[in-house]
Chains A and B, each alone.
Chain A
């Protein structure tokens, strides 16, 4: 049986662990609030923009051509995997990685390449020798607009110059704090948007300067906002998962402390009982 001091030492160690997980939980909660706000506030822009694209393509129909629309025979594919830089966030990364691996295994290893966001995914896939063409490991789950712009440039250039024929995103779509779902999304080429709205109202649109000009100004922004909102979702999901994981860890530590305290008290009681017995039997023996 463990001695009193051993138990006490364990209690203290679990207590300090609990303090750390609790602090991490608070930090994650604060960052989640920020990230969630960012994810939610960038949504209207993305939605309105795809509305606008729909209206535009309804009018301009077949004449529209833009490098981002180009549908090619699919030879090479790129997958952008958005994992986290740091661990201690439960099953967040393993879920994403499992999905990514499944996707990769269905394809010819020669014809797929990876773009990794987040150190975790990068390390995993590097070890397994998948082809990684680009890695972004400095986000630290915070939106850095310069980096996003750089990333969009890289991706669109790869696509336009024909280094890849399709680009997919894989990220944890944020629903609630307790729920996020690894989601695949086609990033490029952009499928021509469905035209919505009846022909009559759409036909009456005035375009200034011309639909083509508007398109070529709109699409780069569309590419940017799509990547940005995917990243925002991924960051919010990461913080949410970490917060949940840390809450769980804190609770578990609490339970552990309770049971250890019980064990400690029992052991203390036992040692007191033995001592009393010794004293009593000693006294008995003297009187004897």
Chain B
């Protein structure tokens, strides 16, 4: 059991004791249990899976950020974090379609990096919303 807090620029999204998490690190998903070695890693857009003390699972859609864990305090600084149940599947689908189109029509005028990131985020949200 350890303390997890998910913080975004807008607010503190989540602050509870949890049993374990699986986070989307830039170099691959990583699991963190209690007494994990101190670690700092960057996160990519993906699903953050939390097992809380009661054994139930919670999913968040994260759009990139950082994770720091030391002495059983785990902090996630996310650019944004959405609770899976709060995701509107319709809207997520729409933004995915938009992002896809923008990437296809890209003729150097748009910021490709940003469009790709938007695409990743949208895809991530759709996958997560479907899962629930």
Q: Do A and B come from one complex?
A: yes
Across the interface, A214 reaches (CB within 8 A) one of B7, B66, B75, namely B66
In the complex, whether B70 has a CB less than 8 A from a CB of chain A is yes
Neighbouring A residues of B39 by C-beta, 8 Å: 205-208
Q: Which residues of A contact B11 (CB under 8 A)?
A: 41-42
Instruction: Give the contact stretch, choosing among A47-55, A131-139, A249-257.
Output: A47-55
Any B CB within 8 A of the CB of A103: no
CB within 8 Å of A: which of B65-102?
Answer: 66, 68, 70-71, 75, 77, 79
B37 near A48 with CB under 8 A, answer: no
Chain A residues within an 8 Å CB radius of B70: 55, 201, 205
Known: A208-B26, A208-B27, A209-B27. Is A52-B9 also a contact (CB below 8 A)?
no
Q: What mask results when residues 1 to 34 of chain B are scored 1 for a CB within 8 Å of chain A, else 0?
A: 0000101111110000000000001110010000
In contact, A41 and B12 (Cβ under 8 angstroms): yes
A48 touches B77 (CB 8 A): yes
Chain A positions 202-220 with a Cβ under 8 Å from a chain B Cβ = 202, 204-209, 211, 213-214, 217-218
Most buried by A among B25, B30, B77: B77
Judge whether A48 and B7 touch: CB under 8 Å. yes
A-B pair number, CB within 8 angstroms: 76
Please pick, from A42, A207, A221, A228, the residue contacting B41 in the complex, using a CB distance under 8 A: A207
> Does chain B have a CB within 8 A of A56?
yes
Chain A proximity of B112: nearest CB distance (Å):
17
Contact: A52 with B66, CB < 8 Å?
yes
Question: Which residues of B are found within 8 Å of A207, using beta-carbon distances?
Answer: 39-41
**B9→A225 contact, CB < 8 A:** yes
8 Å CB contact of A56 from B10, B26, B40, B75: B40
Q: Does A44 contact B (CB under 8 A)?
A: yes
Within the assembled complex, what's the spacing in Å between the Cα atoms of A242 and B97? 45
Q: A19-51 interface mask toward B, CB cutoff 8 Å, 1 = contact, 0 = none? A: 000000000000000000010011011001101
Shortest CB-to-CB span from A39 to chain B, Å, is: 11
A214 touches B12 (CB 8 A): no
A208 touches B42 (CB 8 A): yes
Picked from B7, B26, B37, B38, the residue with its CB within 8 Å of the CB of A45 is B7
A225 to B7 Cα, complex, angstroms: 12
Q: Which bracket fits the contact residues of B?
A: 20 to 34
Bound together, the chains give a CA A36 to CA B28 distance in angstroms of 38
Set of chain A residues within 8 Å of B71, measured between Cβ atoms: 201
Residues A204 and B27 in contact, CB atoms below 8 Å apart = no
Tell me, in angstroms, the Cα distance from A224 to B9 when the chains sit together: 10
Which of A48, A206, A228 has a CB less than 8 Å from the CB of B75? Answer: A48
A209 to B37, CA, bound (A): 15
- CA of A41 to CA of B15, assembled, Å: 14
A201 B38 Cβ-Cβ under 8 A: yes
Chain A residues with CB under 8 A of B77: 45, 48-49, 52, 221
Q: Name the A residues within 8 Å of B75 (CB-CB).
A: 48, 51-52
Contacts of A214 in B (CB 8 A): 40-42, 66
User: Closest B-chain residue to A37, C-beta based?
Assistant: B11
Q: Judging by beta carbons under 8 Å apart, are A209 and B26 in contact?
A: yes
Partner of B40, one of A38, A201, A206, A225: A206
Complex: A142 Cα to B13 Cα, angstroms: 22
- Whether B40 and A213, one on each chain, are in contact in the complex, defined by CB atoms closer than 8 angstroms, is no
**Which residue of B has the minimal Cβ distance to A40?**
B11
Across the interface, A205 reaches (CB within 8 A) one of B7, B27, B30, B40, namely B40
Question: In the assembled complex, which residues on chain B have CB atoms less than 8 Å from the CB atom of A202?
Answer: 38
User: With the chains together, A202 CA to B70 CA distance in Å?
Assistant: 9
Residues of chain B lying within 8 A (CB to CB) of residue A49: 77
Alpha-carbon distance between A55 and B12 when the two chains are bound, in angstroms: 21
Complex A-B: 8 CB contacts under 8 Å: A42-B10, A45-B7, A45-B8, A48-B7, A201-B70, A208-B42, A213-B26, A214-B41
Contacts of A228 in B (CB 8 A): 9
